[in-house]
Structure 1
Amino acid sequence: MELTFVSEESFRINYGKEFSLEKYHQLLYIRDQLLNIDAITEAVVGYTTLTVYFNPFRLTYNEVRKVVVPYLTQQTGNQPNGNVIKIPVCYEGEFAPDIQVVADYHAIDTNEVIRLHSERNYQVLFLGFAPGFPFLSEVDSKIATPRKNNPRREVHRGSVGIAGKQTGIYPSPSPGGWQIIGRTPVHLLPMKENQPTLVQPGDFIQFYPISQQEFFNLHEFEHK
């Protein structure tokens, strides 16, 4: 790992160019330790980086090095204890315009796509692309599917998609080229004062299938 200063009030820890869950968990561990320091104001984890913001009036560059450097060589074999958030997904009809594309790409049926997508837990790696958009850990290789050649001008809020080996959820309407295999009625951007987003890096998401009627019932409940 390498420590570089980005500005007078921020620095970045780089952990090579290749992503692995082991490296990612190490960065999460460092993030959690540094956030216990009052002078640290924010820590943003990426695939292989951790960008940390601090109060320069309370922490000098030399003090930053003294605090951070020990963590660069300290290994932790523990997996982070993120929250487990269960997300209902309707994989049917208009909510899943590309599920047949994914099925055909792998010569399987749509029920198998649903089973493979919803049977594993996904870790939230980071939020990006759009506010609150969670990039999740890899899907089963049997449903990994390339992005669309021609992106849609607008993807509905709550759409669940696959792009290559990754899966994610669109928290708001936006253009996008992911293969849309379902939609959730859950709002990922509650915008509460102490919780602007439903999920955070390090959390885990469990998808589970629901019917269209269940979707409409939950959607109505979410928007009361």
Structure 2
Amino acid sequence: MNIVNINENCMSVVFEERIDPEINAQVIQLKSAIQNSAISGILELVISYNTLVIYFDDTVTDHETLSESLQSLTLSSTDQQQTTTYVIPVCYEAPFNLDLDEMASLHNKTTEEIIQIHTSKPYLIYMLGFMPGFPFLGGLDESIATPRKASPRKEIPAGSVGIANAQTGIYPLASPGGWNIIGKTPLKLFDPKRDPEVYYEAGDYIKFKRISKEEYDNIEQAVNNGTYEIETEVQ
């Protein structure tokens, strides 16, 4: 791993320069090791594909001291994060499937085939970013990988599920964006009034579950009433 100083109270630990589940697992393992250690002055740890960004209190520690502490850490199996698979219900029907027909035509597949492929397996959450609770998911079947739209939309509704290149993701909030939208979940993936505000974290998994428009409406009502409990599978 390569330690890089960013500014007076921030540094990053960079692993291999590639997107790979094993590399991401090492980043998460390092985060857990730091949290389980006696290293002082840590304010925040932020995970990306192959990097852990460390924010620290520069009145408590400094780059040199923190770097030495990181180098002395020994990663072990006890530092591995318990992962959870979150089952996200998605309606792939109109009016939510804005780009599904176009994607099917592009890949010479039916819309049913696109949906079947998209819901066929869990996806690793490499990191959260772009907006609160936006999961960058790896493992998309290359047969439905689709370039970003040439002209981004001015607003994509919250809960929209999309594909951009070799990734799939979910918009927790309404936002401009260029991802290809194939469905929508009725869940509130980011809710500042909820504890936790975001259900999942990097290292967890998301599995998409197809639902009908009627089921979407019922779940949305349960979410608004505060009675919906997200389905999970602990690994």
TM-score (norm 1): 0.91
Change (3 A) 1:127 1:163: same
What are the within-5 Å matches in structure 2 for residues 54-93 of structure 1? 54-71=56-73, 80-93=81-94
Tell me, yes or no, if the aligned pair for 2:11 and 2:63 is still in contact at 8 Å: no
Deviation at 1:46, TM superposition (A): 0.9
Q: What is the one-letter code of the residue matched to 1:168?
A: G
Q: Distance in 1 between matches of 2:195 and 2:91?
A: 29
In structure 1, the partner of 2:155 is 154
Is residue 35–residue 41 contact of structure 1 (8 Å, CA) maintained in 2?
Answer: no
Q: Which residue of 1 aligns with 2:106?
A: 105
Query: Would you say the 8 A contact 1:185–1:215 is kept in 2?
Result: yes
Matched, 1:120 2:127: no
State yes or no: 1:217 paired with 2:214.
Answer: no
What per-residue deviation string (whole Å, max 9, x for no partner) do you get for residues 9-38 of structure 1?
Answer: 221111232221111110110011112245
Following superposition, the deviation at residue 140 of structure 1 comes to 0.5
Question: Deviation per CA, 1:92-150, whole angstroms, max 9, x where unpaired?
Answer: 11111111112111111111111110111111111111222111113101111111111
Letter aligned with residue 178 of structure 1:
W
Contact conserved, 2:9 with 2:55, CA < 8 A, in 1? yes
Q: Is the 8 A contact 1:162 1:180 kept in 2?
A: yes
Gaps spanning 5+ residues in structure 2: where? Answer: 226-235
Aligned length: 222
How high is the sequence identity, in percent, across the aligned residues? 36
Maintained 8 Å contact 2:30/2:75: no
- 1:118-197 matches, cutoff 5 A: 118-192=119-193, 194-197=195-198
Post-superposition CA distance 1:60-116 (Å, at most 9, x none): 433312220145x8587x974322111000011111111111211111111111111
State the shift of 1:39 in Å: 3.0
Structure 1 position 42 matched with structure 2 position 44? yes
Partner Cα distance (2:160, 2:203) in 1? 21
C-alpha distance in 2, partners of 1:64/1:154? 42
Could you tell which deviates more after superposition, 152-161 or 8-17? 8-17
Amino acid at match of 2:218: N
**TM-score when scaled to structure 2?**
0.87
The CA deviation at 1:7 is 2.5
Q: Residue 55 of structure 2 is aligned with which of 53, 67, 70?
A: 53
The one-letter amino acid paired with 2:61 is L
1:75 and 1:49 map into 2 onto residues whose CA distance is 19
In structure 1, distance between residues paired with 2:113 and 2:72? 47
Deviation, structure 1 residue 193: 6.4
Matched, 1:205 2:206: yes
* Cα distance in 2 between the residues matched to 1:139 and 1:108: 16
